[in-house]
Structure 1
Amino acid sequence: MELIEKIVSTLSGIVWGAPMLVLLVGTGIYLTVILKGMQFWALPHAMKLIFHKEHDGEGEISHFAALMTALAATVGIGNIVGVATAISLGGPGAVFWMWMTGLVGMATKYSEAVLAVKYRQKGHHHGFKGGPMYYLTYGLNMPKLGMAFAIFTALAAFGIGNMTQANAVATILETQMSVPTWVTGVVLLTLTAVVILGGIKSIGRFTSFLVPFMILVYVAVSLVILCMNLDKLPHALSLIFYHAFNPIAAGGGFVGATMAAAIRYGVARGVFSNESGLGSAPIAAAAAKTNDPVRQSLVSMTQTFIDTLVVCTMTALIILISPFWEQGVSPGVITMQSFTMYLGSFGTIVVVLSTALFAYSTILGWSYYGEKAFEYLLGERFIRLYRVLFIAGVMVGSMMKLEFVWNFSDLMNGMMAIPNLIALLLLSKVISSETNRYFTSRK
């Protein structure tokens, strides 16, 4: 077992090395160029479309519900711990590169959704099916690559989208509130079953309530702290912009960081946070009720903006106006200590509950991604079996040590990105054509 763990850890490091990060960001830059920077000038229009309802469109859930399902999967513990890790290892400049990754990632997220809706297929009993496995199969006639993507997604869903999230909730509730892990497991298992057994409509309804609530509370509390410390914000922002292009020296407990480290960890954490290029979010976009691929894709694009440029930014600024990031404090507790410093025990409660809710929402979002991958591989008749197995995985994850599962999940996430990026690059003309058609017709 030790040998297997070592092999998986090594492979994960190779897959998520510099070439993958360059490919992910490079694809985003390429798509930004061919789409003429549409994520910038079309963002106001995209925001308006979030609440637009297409009563005559085909699909199962609204634009808003599809967005909330995708956000449920991406706004996770990475927005709390991941940002702290980026700053601890890459310095304040990592935040700048996280922003850059988010900005180009918006074009990637948009493009994935265009293809997902355009090439989605109608199921016999369960509405529409879509995502990279379908645009690889029907858009590029590469069913083997589609099958590979589905396998990686189904496996990743049980890891990064299930057991590791349940474990994170159980661990923080045990350490901060002395809640036994088995109790957390039973509660999470029950809550997960209640939602996912009803399928995408049930998931969409629940996440449409949960996700806005948890994001608004987290951002509101963060803004209160930032307003209490307006005098410190200019310095925090100057650290971000200056150290994006200049190394930061060691001091206190901080070990220092080069510009290369800032880029590496900023880009890596940005990609892990918003999942642009991984191919997960377009699976939810394909279920949206719409007659136009571009309309839902514009809504999907706002997911990366909200996740990286809003939620991650709140966490980063609060960390940088507090002293803990310079004192060698573990990334796992930097955010909590920063909130606690300004709000006392209330700050601790906010971070604990945010971690729990973010992780739970990730379980719900990824349950649907894994289900659609499972359906692609084995057919609709096995969906109920998948849901039962997924629910059982929540209990297992709550009570086990999961270092191996984390590494395996990272590997599967990276493997998902490879066929998806191939499809985005080879179908870029389709993406550009659909975009030009939509905006020309609006004029």
Structure 2
Amino acid sequence: MHKLNDILSVIDSNIGGSQWFVFLLLGTGIFFTIYLKFPQFRYLKHSLRIVRGKFDKEGDKGDTSHFQALTTALSGTVGTGNIAGVALAIHLGGPAALFWMLVTAAVGMTTKFVEVTLSHKYREVAQDGSIAGGPMYYMKNRLNLKWLAVIFAVATVLSSFGTGSLPQVNSISNSLFETFGINHMLTGGVLALLLGFVIIGGIKRIAQVTSRLVPVMAIIYFIGAIAVIFYNYENILPSLEAIFGDVFTGTAATGGFLGGSIAFAFNRGVNRGLFSNEAGQGSAPIAHAAARAHEPVSEGLVALLEPFIDTIIICTLTGLVLLSSGVWTEKHENQFQDADLVVFDGTYSEQNQQDVDKLHNYLVGEADLPLFTGTLAIENGVVANQPTILHARSVAENVKVWVNDQPYSGPLELVDGKIDREKERNPSGLTLTGQSLMHSAPLTTIAFTRSWFGDFGKYIVSIGLLLFAFSTAISWSYYGDRAITYLFGSGKVIYYHIIYVIGFFVASFTDTTIIWTLSGITIALMTIPNLFGILALSKEMKNEVKSFWKEYADRFPGEKLPKG
């Protein structure tokens, strides 16, 4: 598994994890923010009014209401990115990563406004009579770039697994296992059956389910998060100071955290910010294209609310929960994953600042350290003459080796700092446990226990994650559904649904780190063609906005409109 993750990591580092991708994403949002004169601030009040149906006309075509389109798109974005993704960003880059997530959301509000408007304008009616829309349709119908539309549609299908299916059920199964001890495969099997039932009903059933799920899950999560933050009220101001104060300095080593660099916080914050709100990815326009509206800009204004709700509100709550509770710097007992594990040829102490600096430089990619290759002697589960073992970017403590849940005695073979998983060299069923930092959903789960709710707090995360992630998987099945419809027609969608549900089940017991790495790749494969497409139509977008406000003024004379 770690070899596969290494390959995927190299691919991710050259696209979604690269600096040029980050600058393309933020640059597009900044360009439209300036070009359209800060619509995310000037139009916010009108967005709320349109969601309530103020601008609707009788006879507007579409399959869903504005609110249903918004909740469907939100259910696709409010998921593991808000619970596990924030924890992963802070784990990788420190508190400053949350700052860059918020910046990404602020400019992403404009990006989503643009991509939804253009996609809604060029939507079509599919063979089965349903509405089909998304960036692939403006690429085909307006830009006349059918090859680019195909690339986007294929990337959407891949991303429906990498973003919507695989990481969602993986986080659910991990959280339920940590909280209730429920077997990963059992969780995957039950949820796969429920998923299949919902998505067979198409967008109308999906919209009905998500319009009920989203408000409920938001309220549950909000109550649990506020309980943690105010229970640790003395850490609120230090947490805010860390978020904004570390932006231009990086985060110093503290507790088990070995420090984060400015570049790493920036890159991971923007990357996880995109995973959270999907602004620029081109996914939400597929849901909004189904909304009943005669004027594309009106639906774009509805979409403008998504990054605000998803990232600026919910992700900020999660970040403050993690920081105020202090769990992000603490080592916790957990089972090690191979992809997060590396063994060095030498001993490094956290009590020695020079050693800490060496480990920090290794983690941020600024220096190499010699990796262990050879045999470790294990006696009753304990490593003799233990070298430094790094797990989850922290020095692991009290490491124990097990085989089929029994303490292991014998040799343990390693190659280049990784456990050799060849059966003839190491026994099958071999696992390592110990104390190290944690990330993703398990870390957020621990954080939610640091409140008046105590251990009951972990149930809030489990329930919230279950609702968040499951609704995300539902919405992404629709995105993939529309991409398949574009590529092959409505008749082939059933085969996609079958594969989607099977993949959902399998991912419930697959290595977490590999899934997160895969999701980063598929996000980039959708985002790049979509960003180039909307940039090419910037002038048309500006004309659409002018046309919309003219009609709005004619319908509501005397109402105060945004200036410019």
CA distance in 1, matches of 2:519, 2:90: 23
In structure 1, the partner of 2:421 is none
Answer yes or no: is the 8 Å Cα contact 2:40–2:304 preserved in 1: yes
1:282-330, Cα deviation, whole Å (9 max, x unpaired) = 0101000110101111111111111100100000111121222233531
Shift of 1:355: 1.7
SS in 1 for 2:294: coil
Worse-superposed segment, 107-116 or 314-323: 314-323
Moved more, 137-146 or 257-266: 257-266
- Corresponding position of 2:197: 194
Query: For residue 336 of structure 1, what is the aligned residue in structure 2?
Result: 445
Moved more, 381-390 or 39-48: 381-390
Q: Are residues 1:387 and 2:388 paired?
A: no
CA deviation after TM superposition for structure 1 residue 9, in Å: 3.0
Residue by residue over 1:345-395, the C-alpha shift from the partner in whole angstroms, topping out at 9 and shown as x without a partner, is 111111112122221111101000000001111011112222233223222
Structure-to-structure mapping, 1:282-321, within 5 angstroms: 282-321=285-324
2:91 aligns with 88
Match of 2:38 in 1: 37
In the alignment, structure 1 residue 259 sits paired with structure 2 residue 262:
yes
Q: Which of 91, 108, 115 lines up with 1:112 in the alignment?
A: 115
1:274 counterpart = 2:384: no
Distance in 2 of aligned mates of 1:219 and 1:49: 25
Return closer, same or farther for 1:406/1:324 CA change in 2, 3 Å cut-off. closer
Tell me by how many angstroms 1:222 deviates: 1.5
TM (norm. structure 2) is 0.75
Q: Percent identity?
A: 40
Deviation at 1:200? 0.2
Contact 2:233 2:324 in 1 (8 A): no
Equivalent pair of 2:228/2:450 in contact (CA under 8 Å): no
Q: For residue 152 of structure 2, what is the aligned residue in structure 1? A: 149
Q: Which runs of 4+ in 1 moved over 6 A?
A: 1-4
Which residue of the partner structure matches residue 171 of structure 2? 168
Question: Which stretch of the first structure deviates more once superposed, 416-425 or 163-172?
Answer: 163-172
Q: Which moved more, 1:285-294 or 1:395-404?
A: 395-404
Q: CA deviation at 1:2?
A: 8.0
Bigger RCO of structures 1 and 2 (CA < 8 A, at least 6 apart): 1
- Greater per-residue strand proportion: 2
Q: 2:459 corresponds to which residue?
A: 349
Larger displacement relative to structure 2 (175-184 or 335-344): 175-184
Which amino acid counterpart does residue 180 of structure 1 have in structure 2? N
1:242-277, CA deviations, whole angstroms, 9 ceiling, x for partnerless residues? 112233322222212233233222212111111111
Matched, 1:12 2:20: no
In the TM superposition, what whole-angstrom CA distance separates every residue of 1:183-238 from its partner, at most 9, and x where no partner exists? 21232122112211110000000000011111121012212333444443222222
Task: Compute the TM-score of the two structures, normalised by the length of structure 1.
Answer: 0.95
Superposition map of 1:52-71 within 5 A: 52=53, 54=56, 55-71=58-74
Hey, what's the Cα distance between the residues in 2 that align with 1:337 and 1:149? 38
Deviations 1:5-34 (A, max 9, x none): 644331121011110011000000001011
Given the alignment, which residue of 349, 368, 378 partners 2:478? 368
Bigger CA drift: 128-137 or 85-94?
85-94
In 2: Cα distance, 1:320 partner to 1:402 partner: 23
CA distance in 2, matches of 1:326, 1:4: 29
AA at the equivalent of 2:280: G
Single out whichever of 33-42 and 182-191 deviates more from structure 2: 182-191
Stretch moving more, 408-417 or 430-439: 408-417
- Stretch of structure 1 that moved more, 288-297 or 337-346: 337-346
CA shift for structure 1 position 147: 0.3
Q: Distance in 2 between matches of 1:193 and 1:367?
A: 10
Query: Take 2:187 and 2:486, find their aligned partners in 1: how far apart are those partners?
Result: 32
Structure 1, unaligned stretches of length 5 or more? none
Query: 2:306 aligns to what SS in structure 1?
Result: helix
Pairwise mapping of residues 124-139 of structure 1 onto structure 2 (< 5 A)? 124-139=127-142
Letter in 1 for 2:162: G
State whether residues 131 and 289 of structure 2, in contact with CA within 8 Å, keep that contact through their aligned partners in structure 1: yes
User: Over aligned residues, Cα RMSD in angstroms?
Assistant: 1.9
Tell me the CA shift for residue 403 of structure 1.
5.4
Between structure 1 and structure 2, the one with the greater Rg is 2
Residues in 2 aligned to 1:45 and 1:392: alpha-carbon distance in whole angstroms? 42
Aligned-partner residue type, residue 8 of structure 1: L
Over 3 Å counting, the alpha-carbon distance change for 1:118 and 1:225 in structure 2 is same
Q: 1:177 and 2:180 equivalent?
A: yes
Seen in structure 2, the aligned counterparts of structure 1 residues 410 and 241 have a Cα distance that, compared at 3 Å, is closer
Question: Please, which moves more after superposition, 180-189 or 350-359?
Answer: 180-189
Do the aligned partners of 1:155 and 1:409 also contact (CA within 8 Å) in 2?
no
1:341 aligns to what SS in structure 2?
coil
Partners in 2 of 1:239 and 1:137 — Cα distance? Answer: 46
Residues 231, 450 of structure 2: 8 Å contact kept: no
